[in-house]
Amino acid sequence: MNVTELISEIKKKKSFLCVGLDTDVNKLPAHLPKNSSGILEFNKTIIEATKDFAVSYKINTAFYEHLGSEGWKILEKTRELLPANVFSIADAKRGDIGNTSTMYAKAFFENLDFDSVTVAPYMGRDSVEPFLEFSNKVTIVLGLTSNAGSADFQTNTIYTPSLYKTVLKTVSQWGTPDNLMFVIGATKAEALKEIRTIIPDHFLLIPGVGAQGGSAPEVCKNGANSSGGLLINSSRGIIYASNGKDYGEAARREAEKLANETSIYT
């Protein structure tokens, strides 16, 4: 799925919802086995329960990579479970010198066929450009994150302007709104108005809604643009809405609730 198709799906579903499949084997409902088959059954149920409202799914690769080769198999099978009409995100936060980034890009864009991958821009242009060379794929660059450590560099007042603003302005010139998006944490919603003056046309992936305390309506009010321009991610708040056999139904309710909170901005 490319950006044009994503915009169409947002308008069709009237939703900015991105469901994060940060599946922790230790947090599976009690009736599911704590192994690869349990993870896959869980992911399949969550996807089936939420696909009417979700326009995107974000798979945090760390929750699969730590399981070794078996985890990669689960990752591959989970990617195959995603419907064709959703925007798939490999939340891998890669970024290295050019030839290494090329191999990362091939892993996620060619081998696993994700529509997008998250990338850390710290090493500069030549670490990001290899991802941008893939047609009909999107590189999602870390911009302003919601973790406490973002104050160490991103918003540290010793930098004028703030370092994250320099990142947004500089990286946006390396590609276009068709192949570049940016991560902006939902707990930084107050900064979205100014961010939109720097990157008015790019999509923003907004994690941190739900369990981390971010407000979806506030994000929409400050960050939506003429094409929508948002993917609002919720992970734990949806996939762990229940620890019982009704976890699918509970996930669907939470997904519908979040989609409804943002529908007037789509």
Query: Which amino acid is residue 196, in one-letter code?
Result: R
Active site residue 93: yes
- Hey, which bits of 77-167 come out as E strands? 87-94, 116-119, 138-144
Residues in contact with 121: Cβ distance below 8 Å, sequence separation at least 6, in sequence order = 95, 127, 128, 141, 142, 167, 171
d(CA 117, CA 182): 11
CB 235 within 8 A of CB 209: no
| Helical (H) or strand (E) element with 232 | strand 230-234
d(CA 46, CA 114): 19
d(CA 59, CA 66): 14
Query: Which amino acid is residue 212, in one-letter code?
Result: Q
Nearest to 80 by CA among 51, 40, 118: 40
Nearest to 13 by CA among 182, 228, 249: 228
From the list 44, 73, 77, 93, the catalytic residue is 93
Supply the residues annotated as catalytic. 93
